[in-house]
Amino acid sequence: MPVSAELATFSDRLFVAAAGIYALAMIFHAVEFSAARAKVPVLVGAGAPDGAPEEGPVRSRPERFGRMAVAVTVLGAALQLASIATRGIAAERWPLGNMYEFISAISVAAVGTWLVVLRRSPAARSAGPFVLFPVLVLMALAGSVLYVPAGPVVPPLRSYWMSIHVSTICISSGLLVVAGVASLLFLLRRSGRLDGLAEKLPEADALDRLAYRITIVAFPLFTFAIITGAIWAEAAWGRFWGWDPKETVAFVSWVIYAAYLHARATAGWRTGRAAWVNVAGFATIVFNLFFINMVVAGLHSYAGVG
Amino acid sequence: MPASTETPAPPRPDPGPRTPHPRLSGVWAVLRNGWRGLTSMRTALVLLFLLALAALPGALLPQRSLNQQLVDKYFTDYPWLAPTLDRLGFFDVFAAPWFAAIYLLLMISLIGCVLPRTVEHAAALRAEPVVTPRNLARMPHHASATLDVGIDEAEERVRSRLRGWRRAERADGTGRTVSAEKGYLREAGNLLFHLSLIGLLLGFAAGKLFGYEGQVIVMSGGGQFCNTGILGYDTFRAGLRVDGTDLSPFCVRLDDFHADFQPNGQAESFRGTLSYQSAEDVEAGVDRWSTHQLEVNHPLRVDGNRVYLLGHGYAPRFTVTWPDGQQRTGEIQWRPVDQATMLSQGATKFEPPGVTDEEKRRTSQLAITGLFAPTSSGGDIVTSVFPALLAPEVAVDVMRGDLGLDDGRGQSIFQVDQGMIDSGALARVARANLVPGQSLTLDDGTVVRFDGVQDWAYLQVSYDPGQEAVLVFAVLLLGGLGLSLTIRRRRFWARLTPVDDGARTVVELGGLARTDRAGYGEEFDRLRADLLDAPNAAQEEI
């Protein structure tokens, strides 16, 4: 399969540019965050309409930084999408064939989720630095130790199921990253520790609701991704489910997220404990991405590392 | 279940006339409380966590079902730990009794929770929406206005706006009320999701009971395999109720095999041209063959069985010519020891033809062992530099003596018995590097010629009678999940009270979301606007 070297290089540069821009956005967020005084709860309370802090045309300097952060994030996401697209064109295949590529996709899915969240409730912006931080960590790993040049993939990955299965896994993982961060921030906010930091975050209620809303979108998508994985496995490996390490940990994640949804409906579990469950689910997703791909040998070892 | 008796203070059973015997009532209480405990949400949560926790060792420890060699390696690496783990079933987590106990308890808990809820939901579907509360102002969503229309017209307006809602209209003092409820599909989806899980598990179980999986190596260039019994396979994993007598006896023949590689040695494609004969034709004696391009991701599906291409390798062909002129040709698969370069290792074994004397036969068996390189590096020490068949070469030792084939023990087809070499019964008589067409001559005049190379394919035949059911239930499960997470259950009430001798009507509205998802507010606002705002505004303008 021919690989257009120039386009592949261009894609790599776009990736680096996107990462740089996210870093800039994170700095802007951090400026706003550190300059902001603790919010008056009423403005971001559960009952307040979204975008409540409408202070007329004159905006405070921190707020301008916050808005710049969001604008810049949009640009970064656009560049990263372009990076993924050009890589796909360069390699003439669906650009989700190795660890570098799917971490890039998960990152952009997380950023996209975050932008949708911001559009619907701008008050969540103060969580910005904490959402972009894991994204940057992911991208730093992908761009350095996990990087592989654009190239064709092994025959088992040549299936249209790959585009369906891996894409939905990446999107749901990206969603769950944001949900996990929201639950972590919720726990931090509620614990009352790190007071100066915590009280600038969005309201605990809002964070909890955010985590839940994202999870109920991500969970069916994740279920769909597992089902399409099983359909593909039936055609590629001779069985739809075989407890391959990756499958097993995906099962564990699924069960934990199912537990999260049940916890939300159980007295005494609704908020604090449910959030811990969500964090545990997030941990299994990360564990599945890194540990299972890189340490445990299995059928899913296509990561292109090692 | 012992744990359930520990659940804190469930309501004591009423020692009424129905259970006169105190001891019996105690047993009944324990049973009932146990059942309640097992089917409670809290227990379901704990079981879910246990299930997640119990599955983890399945990913972290080597599993027999996936890779026996890794399990063996674990035994050598951790000799003090492995036997204990093994006794506890940690190398077969998904077949372990404790794993089964967790998911079976979870299923029972699920059934105990879902069946009563199904009955309740069926009743709720037939029941009328609840009576309008006396004070609608107390509802989370509330509005009221006075419309310049009579009560009949106002009611008609409410009725037509609430099309699609389940409604009940009741008289209420001098006026009327409309109660409406929507979103019944949420609970239906929830129930569908849980019931599908049970179906999915049953489908899975059917596969484990009645399914099987067998692997076999078939030579390219016309090698045949018929699914007539377990013995035809190199390895076979039978379901619990499969004894191998009732396999569907289709046949496959590998006419051709082709592997493509990129310049860096990465595999580009594997393609096998497969001919196959359906079981029906085989049984009827009809010699009709169809063809199928067998590829990774593109299995052959025949008679409910699937045939997969799992791997490939090379089989060097040797011809041995004994001094008396007799010839034998051997072609057996050699095992790839390096997947990147397909350097392979094996042993092709020969019996001397026409030797009837047992003693003599056992001193003159031959084995050609060594390494095969599809693209040889050249030089004295043969190694492979590329996986495709570009410059094949073998580096072989010819062994003569007793191969130990008669002692009744199974023997690897890839090696000679090291014990026979150690005991001196088998000895090396020649060593050479050969390219196709080259030969070597042994001390007794026997000529060993390396003729060429044949591809072989590693095929898997799978049969799983439960997998269609699993797919159907998985799709239902997903549909149920989608319904239960997107649909909101909500109630809406309108109270219509005539005023001004029936010329005008006071309309009071109330709304209540029955699920914790926010978002009913917007819908309520739309309902309010449609029912109250427009006519009022119109009235005021006139």
For A157, nearest residue in chain B (alpha carbons): B297
Return the residue in A205, A251, A261, A270 with the most chain B beta carbons within 10 A, the one to mutate for interface testing. A251
In this prediction, residue B388 has a pLDDT band, given cuts at 50, 70 and 90, of: very high
The beta-carbon neighbor of B467 closest among A155, A240, A292 is A240
Cβ <8 Å between A155 and B475: no
Averaged pLDDT, B278-283: 90
Q: At residue A226, does pLDDT exceed 90?
A: yes
Our CA-based measurement puts residue B485 at a distance from the nearest CA of chain A, in whole angstroms, of: 6
Residue A154, pLDDT score: 80
**Residue B466 near residue B204 (C-beta atoms within 8 A):** yes
Is the Cβ of B61 closer than 8 Å to some Cβ of chain A?
no
B362-B364-B369 Cα angle (round to 5): 105
- What is the model's pLDDT at position A193? 76
B266 pLDDT above the threshold of 80: yes
Residues of B in contact with A230 (CB under 8 A): 470, 474
State whether A239 and B41 contact (CB < 8 Å). Answer: no
B485: chain A residues, CB-CB within 8 Å: 216, 219-220
Chosen from A255, A257, A294 to mutate, greatest number of chain B CBs within 10 A: A255
Nearest-Cα residue of chain A relative to residue B487: A216
Q: What does the alpha-carbon distance between residue A218 and residue A256 come to, in Å, rounded to a whole number?
A: 13
Domain ranges of chain A: 1-36+60-153, 154-306
For residue B521, the chain A residue with the least C-alpha distance is A47
Q: By C-alpha distance, which of B184, B182, B179 is closest to B510?
A: B179
Which residues, numbered 2 to 21 in chain A, qualify as contacts with chain B under a Cβ-Cβ cut-off of 8 Å?
Answer: none
Q: Which residues of B fall within a CB distance of 8 Å from A240? A: 464, 467, 470-471
Model pLDDT, residue B359: 84
For residue B515, give the chain A residue with the closest CA: A265
Residues 142-161 of A with CB under 8 A from B: 151-152, 154-156, 158-159, 161
A265: confidence class by pLDDT, cuts 50, 70, 90: confident
- Is the CB of B41 less than 8 angstroms away from the CB of A152? no
Name the more confident of B268 and B75.
Answer: B75
Please indicate whether, in this complex, the C-beta atoms of A155 and B298 are within 8 angstroms of each other: no
Q: Residue A29 in contact with residue A69, Cβ under 8 Å? A: yes
To the nearest whole Å, the CA of A275 is away from the closest chain B CA by 14
Interface of B with A in 216-275 (CB under 8 A): 262, 266-270
pLDDT average, residue stretch A151-176: 90
Q: Is the pLDDT of residue A164 over 90?
A: yes
Partners of residue A256 in chain B, C-beta under 8 Å = 48-49, 52
Per CB-CB distance under 8 Å, the chain B contacts of A264 are: 516
Residue B4 banded pLDDT, cuts 50, 70, 90? very low
Say what percent of chain A tops pLDDT 70: 89
Name the residue facing A156 among B55, B297, B517 (closest C-beta). Answer: B297
- Interface probe for A, chosen from B39, B297, B514, B516 (most Cβ of A below 10 Å), is B297
**So where are chain B's domains?**
26-124, 132-183+490-540, 205-311+461-476, 317-453
pLDDT of residue A55: 47
pLDDT for res A104: 96
Q: Residue B51: what pLDDT?
A: 95
Contact B216, B233 (CB under 8 A): yes
CB contact under 8 A, A259 and B310: no
Q: Give helix then strand counts, H and E, for chain B.
A: 14, 23
Query: What integer pLDDT is reported at residue B541 of this predicted model?
Result: 32
Q: Give the tens place of pLDDT for each residue, B213-257.
A: 999 999 999 999 999 888 889 889 888 888 888 888 999 999 999
- Max mean pLDDT range (A50-64, B191-205, B339-353): B191-205
**Angle at Cα B431 formed by Cα B427 and Cα B432, nearest 5°?**
160
Percentage, residues of chain B above pLDDT 90: 54
- The answer to whether the Cβ–Cβ distance between B270 and A155 falls below 8 Å is yes
> If pLDDT is split at 50, 70 and 90, which confidence band does B517 have?
low
Q: What is the predicted pLDDT for the residue at B503?
A: 86
Most distant CA pair in chain B, distance? 128
Please report the pLDDT score of residue B187 as a whole number: 92
- Residue A299: per-residue pLDDT: 74
Question: Where residue B465 falls among pLDDT bands split at 50, 70, 90?
Answer: very high
Phi, psi of B434 (to 5 degrees): -130, 140
**B286-345: pLDDT as tens digits:** 889 999 999 988 999 998 999 999 889 999 999 999 998 899 999 999 999 988 899 999
Mean pLDDT of A68-93: 94
pLDDT at A305: 45
B60 contacts on A by Cβ (under 8 Å): 245, 296
pLDDT at B42: 86
Is residue A52 over pLDDT 80? no
- Tell which residue, B496, B514, B516, has the closest CA to residue B505: B496
In the predicted structure, residue B180 carries a pLDDT above the cut 80: yes
Residues A247, B106, B40, CA angle at the centre, nearest 5°?
135
Is A120 touching B (CB cutoff 8 A)? Answer: no
Question: Confidence band (pLDDT; 50, 70, 90) for B49?
Answer: very high
Cross-strand bridge partners of residue B504: B499
Asked if A155 lies within 8 A of B267 by C-beta distance, the reply is yes
Q: How far is B43 from chain A (nearest CA, A)?
A: 10
> Does residue A262 contact residue A270 with C-beta atoms inside 8 Å?
no
Q: Decide if A154 and B266 are in contact by the 8 Å CB cutoff.
A: yes
Interface test with B, best of A237, A246, A270, A302 (most B CBs within 10 A): A237
Confidence of residue B148 (pLDDT cuts 50, 70, 90): confident
pLDDT recorded at residue A301: 67
A81–chain B Cβ distance below 8 A for any pair: no
SS (H, E, C) chain A: CCCCHHHHHHHHHHHHHHHHHHHHHHHHHHHHHHHCCCCCHHHHCCCCCCCCCCCCCCCCHHHHHHHHHHHHHHHHHHHHHHHHHHHHHHHCCCCCCCHHHHHHHHHHHHHHHHHHHHHHCHHHHHHHHHHHHHHHHHHHHHHCCCCCCCCCCCHHHCCHHHHHHHHHHHHHHHHHHHHHHHHHHHHHHHHCCCHHHHCCCCCHHHHHHHHHHHHHHHHHHHHHHHHHHHHHHHHHCCCCCCCCHHHHHHHHHHHHHHHHHHHCCCCCCCCHHHHHHHHHHHHHHHHHHHHHHHCCCCCCCCCCCC
If one counts every other C-beta atom within 10 angstroms of the C-beta of residue B56, the result is: 16
| Residue A86 confidence (pLDDT) above 50 | yes
Query: Chains A and B: how many Cβ contacts under 8 Å?
Result: 123
Residue B196, pLDDT above cutoff 90:
yes
pLDDT in tens, B432-454: 999 999 999 999 899 999 999 99
Is A155 in contact with B52 (Cβ distance < 8 A)? no
Chain A residue numbers touching B464 (CB-CB < 8 A)? 239-240
* CA–CA gap between residue B150 and residue B506 (Å, rounded): 10
| Least reliable range by pLDDT among A47-61, A274-288, B517-531 | A47-61
CB-CB under 8 Å, A266 with B41? yes
> What is the rounded average pLDDT of the residues B101-122?
92
CATH tag for B132-183+490-540 (out of 1.20.120.790, 3.30.310.80, 1.10.10.10, 3.20.20.70): 3.30.310.80
Name the residue facing A238 among B45, B306, B481 (closest C-beta). Answer: B306
| Interchain contact A298–B (C-beta under 8 A) | yes
A window 248-287, beta carbon within 8 A of B: 248-249, 251-252, 255-256, 258-259, 262-266, 268-269, 284
Residues of chain A positioned with their CB less than 8 A from the CB of B470:
230, 240
Q: CA-to-CA distance for A205 and B459, rounded, in angstroms?
A: 56
User: Within an 8 Å CB–CB cutoff, is residue B413 touching chain A?
Assistant: no
At B56, the pLDDT band (50, 70, 90 cuts) reads very high
pLDDT at A157: 83
Is A242's CB within 8 Å of B65's CB?
yes
Contact B336, B346 (CB under 8 A): no
> Lowest mean pLDDT: which of A209-218, B131-140, B309-318, B514-523?
B514-523
Residue B18 in this model has a pLDDT that exceeds 50: no
pLDDT (tens digit per residue) in A103-124 = 999 999 999 999 999 999 888 8
**Look-up: residue for tokens 């026979």?**
B420
From residue A234, alpha-carbon distances to A11, A241, A279, B168, B400 in Å are 34, 8, 32, 51, 46
Residue of B nearest to A268 (CA): B42
pLDDT digits (tens, 9 = 90+) for A239-254: 999 999 999 999 999 9
Q: How far is CA B176 from CA A279, B137, B181, B459, B491, in A?
A: 51, 17, 17, 74, 17
Q: Chain A within 8 Å of B213 (Cβ-Cβ)? A: yes
